[in-house]
Copies of this chain bind each other. A is one copy, B any other.
């Protein structure tokens, strides 16, 4: 039950093309017609794989979430827990949003802006994805506290919030303004954020209050 069906292969090909379109024009800019042309298929052929445009959009989101897992989350898991892993997570995240191999920008970031006022299943999926990513960031921060790398009173939610801000600013500066320094600025901002919460040296397990 491991062999990919012909249909599954086609579906994967379609999703890759859809992801490319969505990265440039956003999920709202992804139309059945444009996807049909990109895949050299008929519109009804696409409907055989995805019952509706909304289903397609949801599948594209899930496809992107899976890529995030492969490129950001899993590689970070292989790094020793604590500050090293947190740093790896941030670095991979930054690379993912700036150069994911797609022709356009990060689909999660554009979708967040597109659907913050469009109620429905897609918005719900975007929110769920953000919560997943947020939980991953917070977990990495918490481990860094447990390892004694960050001060015990560090607030994981606040750090995750600021990490998101740096990534968003970076995406904006790089992709919209063409700022080549964006990545450097982001790493500097992250380093200073961490330095601000770093535990005094030689402290192993931070003292609980």
Distance (Å) between the CB of A25 and the closest chain B CB? 7
Interface residues of A in 145-168 (CB under 8 A from B): 157-158, 161-162, 164-168
In the assembly, what is the distance between CA of A51 and CA of B26, in Å? 26
Assess the B117–A24 pair: CB atoms within 8 A.
Answer: yes
For this chain, the copies found in one complex come to 2
Apart from A130-B176, A164-B172: 20 A-B pairs, beta carbons within 8 A: A24-B117, A103-B117, A104-B117, A105-B113, A105-B116, A110-B116, A112-B176, A113-B113, A113-B114, A115-B176, A127-B176, A131-B177, A157-B185, A158-B189, A164-B169, A164-B173, A165-B168, A165-B170, A165-B189, A168-B172
Residues on A lying within 8 angstroms of B by beta carbon are 23-26, 28-29, 103-105, 109-110, 112-118, 123, 126-127, 130-131, 157-158, 161-162, 164-170, 172-173, 175-177, 181-182, 185, 188-189, 192, 196
